[in-house]
């Protein structure tokens, strides 16, 4: 397992991810995607979009981030979307009370105090109100990891939605929220999409978009941020059929991660014990990050909670009418909700590898991305900067650039140029050498196997098209 710091440092050095507003000291929980990061992000979203919407029963949507405030009243986010928070008076540090208790349980387990850990875990499972969390923290003598004291404030609920104002009025009447999940944009458009897309139950709506949560503790790089992107699909089904659809979507989503190169041994299922207010079943796909397993996508059975709530508050019917059986009902919803940024981090950790090469015994850092996710698809090098090679190489580069994300590199020994591309995960490198000028052949080297093939220069484009449509 490689260290997260190693991956973060590569991500910064090679232009995948930068801290937001870095020249001002950064801002917690916000990150910027650099030239390679944005390509990876787009490839990831594209892979998801194709998988989810290139089929008969799913339509796409791009809803606005700002929504009518009543949406959050109906969805329950205004009342319930909060985390229990506690402050240490000495260190002034703020924690999520449940995380503090979880860390304590992990410490107890490390010290083999399993009975006490089990007891504490049971109490945490039952905790609902702020006072319940507070009692556990006091009963188990949990201290602040920074100050070492138990000098705690009460536990308070902290709503995670970012508030702002619409228009020029600074009063409650004009308060709106940055959406904390993209799902609600889908629910309020359920009828619009069903009717315009001439869909019938079962069908789904897919959306990729930003969401914002004022998380109390942001940590672990892109894992928990305050601004992030989600790729969500809400599948509308007949009540009673949700269990079958959960099974179907579980399989689809797991296979998607594996199809794009995720090592199956780094993935696992985790069923929720505590359910959100809208769910009757929830399971997560977790990925093994350098700091341990963490959720990358949730598959949730949301029942008819959201549509019923919007129907009630808006007074607009959100039903499906079956024209054959004449049945009318508010559909149940099965959602697949994945994080784009968290997913990107998982794919980055999954791809990172170091090896000692056989030819010269040097360390090779390589990002083993699936070729469809790789930010740069192909690199072109003239072997030496003379004898007409740069001119020929540049012409090939310009041609490939019309179809592929291509880089051109003339600097340093060829081995160094390979290493630079390995480090960003470029699947193919093409070298133009003396043979190219003599008999129009080039060498194509594949990243993982480092195998080299000689092909005719006129076939490069087709060779790559075949590889990238595989």
Binding site for ligand ATP (CB under 6 A): 181, 213, 215, 224-225, 228, 230, 295-298, 337-339, 341-342
- Nearer to ligand ATP among residue 224 and residue 310 (C-beta): 224
Per the CB < 8 A criterion, the answer to whether 110 and 103 are in contact is no
- Nearer to ligand ATP among residue 46 and residue 452 (C-beta): 46
- Nearer to ligand ATP among residue 202 and residue 338 (C-beta): 338
Residue 339 Cβ vs ligand ATP, minimum distance, rounded to whole Å? 2
Quick one: the chain helix, strand, coil %, rounded to 5?
A: 40, 25, 35
SS3 17: strand
Residue 14 Cβ vs ligand ATP, minimum distance, rounded to whole Å? 22
Residue 87 Cβ vs ligand ATP, minimum distance, rounded to whole Å? 20
- Nearer to ligand ATP among residue 184 and residue 407 (C-beta): 184
Per the CB < 8 A criterion, the answer to whether 43 and 374 are in contact is yes
Positive or negative torsion for Cα 271, 276, 281, 282? negative
Residue 341 Cβ vs ligand ATP, minimum distance, rounded to whole Å? 5
Tell me how many helices (H) and strands (E) the chain has: 16, 23
- Nearer to ligand ATP among residue 337 and residue 436 (C-beta): 337
Task: Return the residue nearest ligand ATP (CB atom).
Answer: 339
Burial readout 280-312 (b: 16 or more C-beta within 10 A, e: otherwise): ebbbbbbbbbbeeebbbbbbbbbbbbbbebbbe
SS3 36: helix
User: Which residue is it, tokens 């606005």?
Assistant: 64
Per the CB < 8 A criterion, the answer to whether 19 and 26 are in contact is yes
Residue 40 Cβ vs ligand ATP, minimum distance, rounded to whole Å? 16
Residue 74 Cβ vs ligand ATP, minimum distance, rounded to whole Å? 17
- Nearer to ligand ATP among residue 341 and residue 406 (C-beta): 341
Residue 202 Cβ vs ligand ATP, minimum distance, rounded to whole Å? 21
Task: Give 283's contacts (C-beta < 8 A, 6+ positions apart).
Answer: 246, 250, 269, 270, 271, 272, 298, 299, 300
- Nearer to ligand ATP among residue 75 and residue 199 (C-beta): 75
Category of 63 on φ-ψ map: left (φ > 0), alpha (ψ -120 to 50) or beta? beta
């Amino acid at each position: 397992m490689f260290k997260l710091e190693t991956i973060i440092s590569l991500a910064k050095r090679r232009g995948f991810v930068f801290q937001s507003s870095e020249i001002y000291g950064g801002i917690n929980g916000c990150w910027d995607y650099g030239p390679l990061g944005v390509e990876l992000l787009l490839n990831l979203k594209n892979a998801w979009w194709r998988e989810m919407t290139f089929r008969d029963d799913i339509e796409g949507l791009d809803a606005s981030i700002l929504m009518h405030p009543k949406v959050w009243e109906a969805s329950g986010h205004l009342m319930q979307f909060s985390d229990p928070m506690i402050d240490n008076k000495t260190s002034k540090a703020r924690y999520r009370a449940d995380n503090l208790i979880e860390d304590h349980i992990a410490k107890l387990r490390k010290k083999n105090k399993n009975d006490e850990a089990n007891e504490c875990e049971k109490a945490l499972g039952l905790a609902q109100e702020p006072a319940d969390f507070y009692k556990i923290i006091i009963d188990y003598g949990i201290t602040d990891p920074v100050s070492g004291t138990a000098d705690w404030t009460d536990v308070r609920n902290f709503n995670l939605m970012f508030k702002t104002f619409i228009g020029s009025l600074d009063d409650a009447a004009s308060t709106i929220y940055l959406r904390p999940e993209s799902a609600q944009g889908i629910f309020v458009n359920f009828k619009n999409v069903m009717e315009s897309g001439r869909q019938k139950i079962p069908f789904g709506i897919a959306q990729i978009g930003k969401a914002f949560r004022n998380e109390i503790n942001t940590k672990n790089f892109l894992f928990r941020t305050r601004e992030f992107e989600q790729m969500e699909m809400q599948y509308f089904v007949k009540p009673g059929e949700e269990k079958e659809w959960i099974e179907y979507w579980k399989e689809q989503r797991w296979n998607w991660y594996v199809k794009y190169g995720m090592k199956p041994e780094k993935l696992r299922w985790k069923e929720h014990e505590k359910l959100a207010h809208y769910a009757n079943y929830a399971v997560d796909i977790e990925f093994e990050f350098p700091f341990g397993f963490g959720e990358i996508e949730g598959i949730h059975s949301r029942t008819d909670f959201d549509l019923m709530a919007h129907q009630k508050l808006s007074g607009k019917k959100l039903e499906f009418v079956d024209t054959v059986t004449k049945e009318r009902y508010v559909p149940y919803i099965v959602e697949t909700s994945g994080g784009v940024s968290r997913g990107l981090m998982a794919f980055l950790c999954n791809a990172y590898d170091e090896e000692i090469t056989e030819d010269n015994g040097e360390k090779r850092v390589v990002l083993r991305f699936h070729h469809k996710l790789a930010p740069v698809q192909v690199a072109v090098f003239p072997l030496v900067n003379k004898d007409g090679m740069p001119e020929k190489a540049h012409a090939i580069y310009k041609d490939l650039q019309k179809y592929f994300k291509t880089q051109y590199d003339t600097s340093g020994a060829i081995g160094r140029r390979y290493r630079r591309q390995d480090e960003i995960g470029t699947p193919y490198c093409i070298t133009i050498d003396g043979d190219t000028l003599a008999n129009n052949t080039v060498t194509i080297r594949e990243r993982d196997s480092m195998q080299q093939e000689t092909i005719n220069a006129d076939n490069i484009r087709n060779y790559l098209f075949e590889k990238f449509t595989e």
